A and B are shown apart, each in its own frame.
Chain A
Amino acid sequence: MAVPVPWACCAVLAAATAVVYAQRHSPQEAPHVQYERLGSDVTLPCGTANWDAAVMWQVNGTDLAPDLLNGSQLVLRGLELGHSGLYACFHRDSWHPRHQVLLHVGLPPREPVLSCRSNTYPKGFYCSWHLPVPTYIPNTFNVTVMHGSKIMVCEKDPALKNRCHIRYMHLFSTIKYKVSISVSNALGHNATAITFDEFTIVKPDPPENVVARPVPSNPRRLEVTWQTPSTWPDPESFPLKFFLRYRPLIQDQWQHVELSDGTAHTITDAYAGKEYIIQVAAKDNEIGTWSDWSVAAHATPWTEEPRHLTTEAQAPETTTSTTSSLAPPPTTKICDTGELDSGGGRSAPFGTRVPVTLALAAAAATASSLLICGGEGPPPSSLTAPACLPRARRPVRTRQRTCRGAGGRSRARRPWFLFCTRAGGPSAFFSDTICRDPGGPGPATPLPTTPHRPSRLPQRRRATQLTRPPKTTPPRPCPLGLDPPTPATPRSPWGPEGSPSHPQFLLLLQPPVCPRVSVATIRL
């Protein structure tokens, strides 16, 4: 009797021990996935361990301090996104892994934002959605489309995961469409719906391939052409009308033209020589809303080639581009031709003496030259020859606030960028509006950059005004005649001589009568 019992007992004991052992040291199962809400507190138990079991916790392989423990449970307060990770607890002494939790911290979904649009009328429409606030955990969306009592199929977009497409089965329906979307994740659920008529969601894509070209021999015209958007399936039966807007780059005010058909238009009131930005939008003739504005096109109206004077010692390469935007050639004569410098290259710094016409011609070679003319409106169509053109060794920048002329006219706050020469020339020519740099404080401040696409220029009162320079010099009347700048102290407004990165300026002087002066800026 006694012999079999101990054997039986041993066997049972051994089995029990084995089971217990197996339980405690079972092969690691897949981690338990847990989602918790941002900002909340969570307590992670170490699997089935007792509260007082001796365990160590790690997150992503890094040990966690024991003060986070409550017995064998890990307590995390005020969950942040950084708390997401793989948490594991180990038997403290044997380092046997006991339990793993993959923790994801996130948010329940807010109400989704749903919108539908038909850019392929009458083929169909699409709906797209997004969450206004991210949830940081996976979400599933479910879209249903109802037309009255009929359910319509919304096919998922192959490329975008938050968009689906619906085909119109019937056109000209009086029954509204209702699109509902529900979003859910491990932490919550939300939904929204929109209803609309077939016609109200029609919005084409913007016109494509907008091209603007100058019209030869027409300095105030620009020809604009574009194409109907390729996504619009049937422009014949569902024609589009177009809205064109244009402005010179240096202005903020748009001009608008509405065109009921055709994919071309000629602008006839462009300012000569100014670069324009042009955009087009499209709309179905009868229904829906306007498309977004197209990609902008830039163009400058045609301008006449500058004529080369025979007195020039050397003419740089003639222009080949018809889009050069110079004002009509100045018919200025150059005094002191003996002093003519031949350095009229494109990159000639302004420190060298460059005759005005040469510089103009050089600039003409640059297709991207930009001309801004001072004074009211477009520059005069022709510059009559002054008696004598001043010419400088160094450019002089003046910052006079007012220049009082003989006639009492004042020109306030215009920066004058001059070529000035020794006043061997007739001072009468220079009239009284030319002000020299008082030689006052410091180097001139850098000029504002010429308009780069598509940045906008600072506010201007008129299209042709330049930004006012800082008012560092006190206003004073402009002396009659011009004192030549001392050669030893050339005033270069751009710091180091001839820094080509700044826009170069030229002053073209008009006839001796005060003070219509054009300021030409040429970007070399």
Chain B
Amino acid sequence: MLACLCTVLWHLPAVPALNRTGDPGPGPSIQKTYDLTRYLEHQLRSLAGTYLNYLGPPFNEPDFNPPRLGAETLPRATVNLEVWRSLNDKLRLTQNYEAYSHLLCHLRGLNRQAAAAELRRSLAHFCTSLQGLLGSIAGVMAALGYPLPQPLPGTEPTWAPGPAHSDFLQKMDDFWLLKELQTWLWRSAKDFNRLKKKMQPPAAAVTLHLGTHGF
């Protein structure tokens, strides 16, 4: 796997604790985070297209539907419908934060010497934007008073390079990374939509209607 020194990520610059008195609440920052996910998703679309073309066939074929083998360390966005709906705010935000931390780490490890300079620049730009998203999520968590997730001992994503992957398997990992990234961005948009609706006081009456839809 990729050698990844990601400890630096876990020591993000501490978000200054917001003075709760007089702050407008987490609403604006949730909206900002939502907007960032949309921006990133848009950016990823063009980046993924270019990168998959660089990987070459069959990765850039629209019907490519491989079984999910390997890439176990990637955080998976997929979740049971009921479980997802019943996530509390803290868990929802934590899952998002941890997922993007991992994904950013993997993304940084995409070190393709053969990749064109343009592609490397796009990747770097995307990493920076993703870093911004992480910061935004951290801001929301701090505003709501939730602690930032700390890396558990032993699960730190630092590892020595594993057994030499074949070039094809390496490309498969890249493929799944991009796929997972895209799916996470879609999921985050829905996550932050849900949070946004919860935070809106006048919409409180509306959120109660959720129960009547028979979920």
Chain A interfacial positions (CB closer than 8 Å to B): 122, 148-149, 168-176, 178, 195, 199, 233-234, 236-239, 285-287
Contact = CB atoms under 8 A, between A and B. Distances in A.
Contact of A237 (B38, B41, B67, B197): B197
Contacts of A238: 190, 193
Interface stretch (B19-27, B74-82, B106-114): B74-82
A168 B194 CA distance: 19
A41 B166 CA distance: 60
Interface residues of B, number: 32
B11 interface: no
A148 B67 contact: yes
Is the contact region of chain A dominated by helix, strand, or loop, or is it mixed? loop
B78 A237 contact: no
Contact of A236 (B41, B184, B194): B194
B179 interface: yes
Interface stretch (B118-126, B143-151, B154-162, B205-213): B205-213
Contacts of B184: 172
Given A237-B190, A286-B190, A170 B80 contact: yes
Contacts of A286: 38, 41, 186, 189-190
Contacts of B84: 171-172
Given A199-B186, A236-B206, A236-B210, A171 B79 contact: yes
Contacts of A175: 68, 78
Contacts of B68: 148, 174-175
Contact of B183 (A172, A233, A285): A172
A234 B82 CA distance: 13
B65 interface: yes
Contacts of A195: 63, 65
A173 B207 CA distance: 26
Nearest to A233: B213
Most buried by B among A172, A175, A176: A172
Given A236-B207, A285-B193, A174 B180 contact: yes
B78 A171 contact: yes
Given A236-B194, A237-B190, A237-B193, A170 B65 contact: no
Given A149-B67, A174-B68, A195-B65, A285 B189 contact: yes
Contacts of A171: 78-81, 84, 187
Contacts of A236: 194, 197, 206-207, 209-210
Given A171-B81, A172-B184, A174-B176, 18 more contacts: A148-B67, A149-B67, A169-B80, A170-B78, A170-B79, A171-B78, A171-B187, A173-B77, A174-B68, A174-B77, A174-B180, A175-B68, A195-B65, A199-B186, A237-B193, A237-B197, A285-B189, A285-B193
Contacts of A172: 77-79, 84, 183-184, 186-187, 190
A285 B35 CA distance: 12
A233 B210 CA distance: 9
A176 B65 contact: yes
B168 interface: no
A486 B77 CA distance: 86
Given A169-B80, A236-B210, A285-B189, A174 B179 contact: yes
Interface string B167-211: 000000000100110011011011001100100000000110110
A234 B210 contact: yes
Nearest to A123: B81
A178 B81 contact: no
B81 A169 contact: yes
Q: 8 tightest CB-CB pairs across the interface, nearest first?
A: A172-B77, A172-B187, A173-B78, A286-B189, A237-B194, A174-B179, A176-B65, A170-B78
